[in-house]
A = this chain, B = another copy of it.
Amino acid sequence: MMQKRGFPKAEFQQRVAKAQARMAKVGLAALLLTTETEVRYFTGFLTRFWESPSRPWFLIVPASGDPIAVIPAIGGVLMGQSWITDIRTWLSPNPEDEGIGLLSEALCEVAENGNVGLPMGPESYLRLPLAEYERLKSLTPCNFVSDQDIVADLRAVKSQAEIAKIKASCDVAARAFAKVPEWAAEGMGLDQVFRQFQSSCLLEGAEFLAYLSGAAEQGGYGDVISPAGPKPLATGDVLMLDTGVVLDGYFCDYDRNYSVGMPSDAVRSAHARLIEASDTAFSCAKPGVTAADLYHAMDGVLTGGQGGGDAGRLGHGLGMQLTEGLSLIPQDQTVLTAGMVITLEPGIEVSAGKVMVHEENVVITETGAEYLSPRMDAEIPRIG
């Protein structure tokens, strides 16, 4: 059911080489990385242990040579199974020195008093207490500067192996979505639907479900981020489930809508319009087109070009995170290139305060795009 875990060493070496080429251009002596996805991108280090915030983790990508991992001892065995050979550990937690001494030594070794790039752009964060960051700055002669989005830019373009992992994740969700009408029924609480759907994804092969949102309300829903309550499904509800299944560290992120009983004309027509919007964006999507172009293609179908909607965008990048990189908004002039994986996520107001949202996952190819999620038909599926 699952493909081979991880990637060959050559893939990590290519990622490092590409980063180093860009680092040379902008004068960075090293990258310092602290988050799960940043560390995993260059090492393959995969664990759910990041859920615990107690220990910081560090990866240094030097201007030349292989990365250096500076990590808590509890991760030593697992990191030792990766391609990384320079692994320096400390016994953590240690309030007297939470790895900062070891890290500053390593940075001095590779960067001396040069520029150390940290991801500082959109969606980035420093997974390190601010007090520790100040301490680090005081202990090293390096300058901490922006990585100029080197890591984000590299991650935005996926390899064939990465695309295969996202596809596998989409396939798991597709099997689970297809079975929803087999077990969901009028009278079942939405909280129970959420449990059952997650269980179904697991039994179809998901490693875990990092994300599930949804709603079930009459003729559309008011909100797409609320947790599920016990209110039972009722005839006339539109049930929406939007999931981030994870397989080997790669996400899918798409949703499906279901009509409980016969859909109203308004719901039927809204669903068809959503599909028309994602179909339209799909047919435009190819290298050279911008994120803004796809926004306008969909918004033309949805609102005749008037824009709006609280979601704030009509799609986004996807990969090691549920959402990453570009946004389908008028202001995002990112140019699509082959290997980018994005979501097409049109939303429409069905009536005052009631919306419906549809989402597909696609990969940009040399000549256009391919669906990773199975393209939805115009007709909304039915429960009951």
Interface residues of A (CB under 8 A from B): 2, 5, 46-49, 51-55, 72-78, 81, 89, 91-96, 98, 118-131, 146, 191, 194-196, 198-199, 202-203, 205-213, 222-230, 244, 310-313, 316, 321-324, 327, 329, 331-332
Residues of B within 8 A of A191 (CB): 2, 207
A-B residue pairs in contact (CB < 8 Å), sample of 30: A2-B230, A47-B227, A49-B213, A49-B225, A52-B321, A53-B125, A54-B123, A54-B323, A54-B327, A91-B310, A92-B312, A93-B313, A93-B327, A93-B332, A94-B312, A95-B332, A120-B129, A120-B130, A121-B129, A123-B129, A124-B129, A125-B130, A131-B146, A194-B207, A198-B199, A199-B199, A199-B202, A199-B203, A207-B227, A209-B209
Complex CA–CA separation, A132 to B52 (angstroms): 25
A95-B122, A122-B129, A244-B51 known; A226+B77 contact, CB < 8 A: yes
Closest Cβ neighbor of A311 among chain B residues: B74
**Partner of A77 from B73, B118, B222 at Cβ < 8 Å:** B222
Closest Cβ neighbor of A195 among chain B residues: B202
Instruction: Report whether A126 and B126 are in contact in the complex, using a CB–CB cutoff of 8 Å.
Output: yes
Instruction: Report whether A322 and B51 are in contact in the complex, using a CB–CB cutoff of 8 Å.
Output: yes
Instruction: Report whether B127 and A125 are in contact in the complex, using a CB–CB cutoff of 8 Å.
Output: yes
Residue in A54, A55, A73, A211 with the greatest tally of chain B CB atoms within 10 Å: A54
Residues of B within 8 A of A81 (CB): 226
A53-B323, A93-B329, A198-B202 known; A72+B125 contact, CB < 8 A: no
A195-B202, A316-B54 known; A208+B207 contact, CB < 8 A: no
In the complex, the 6 A-B pairs of residues with the closest C-beta atoms, listed nearest first: A49-B225, A77-B223, A120-B130, A73-B310, A52-B323, A199-B199
Residues of B within 8 A of A195 (CB): 202-203, 205-207
Copy number in this complex?
Answer: 2
Residues of B within 8 A of A332 (CB): 93, 95
**Partner of A225 from B78, B128, B226, B227 at Cβ < 8 Å:** B78
Residue in A55, A93, A129, A332 with the greatest tally of chain B CB atoms within 10 Å: A93
Residues of B within 8 A of A210 (CB): 51
Residue in A95, A130, A229, A332 with the greatest tally of chain B CB atoms within 10 Å: A130
Residues of B within 8 A of A49 (CB): 213, 225
Instruction: Report whether A123 and B310 are in contact in the complex, using a CB–CB cutoff of 8 Å.
Output: no
Residues of B within 8 A of A223 (CB): 77-78
Residues of B within 8 A of A55 (CB): 312
A48-B227, A199-B203, A327-B93 known; A128+B129 contact, CB < 8 A: no
Residues of B within 8 A of A127 (CB): 125
Residues of B within 8 A of A52 (CB): 211, 321-323
**Partner of A96 from B226, B322, B323, B331 at Cβ < 8 Å:** B331
Residues of B within 8 A of A2 (CB): 191, 230
A123-B129, A129-B120, A323-B54 known; A312+B48 contact, CB < 8 A: no
Complex CA–CA separation, A91 to B193 (angstroms): 30
Instruction: Report whether B225 and A312 are in contact in the complex, using a CB–CB cutoff of 8 Å.
Output: no
Complex CA–CA separation, A96 to B327 (angstroms): 13
Instruction: Report whether B321 and A225 are in contact in the complex, using a CB–CB cutoff of 8 Å.
Output: no
Residues of B within 8 A of A126 (CB): 125-126, 130
Q: Would you give the shortest CB distance from A136 to chain B, in whole angstroms?
A: 13
Residues of B within 8 A of A121 (CB): 129, 131
Complex CA–CA separation, A126 to B121 (angstroms): 14
A125-B129, A198-B202 known; A312+B51 contact, CB < 8 A: no
Complex CA–CA separation, A95 to B122 (angstroms): 8
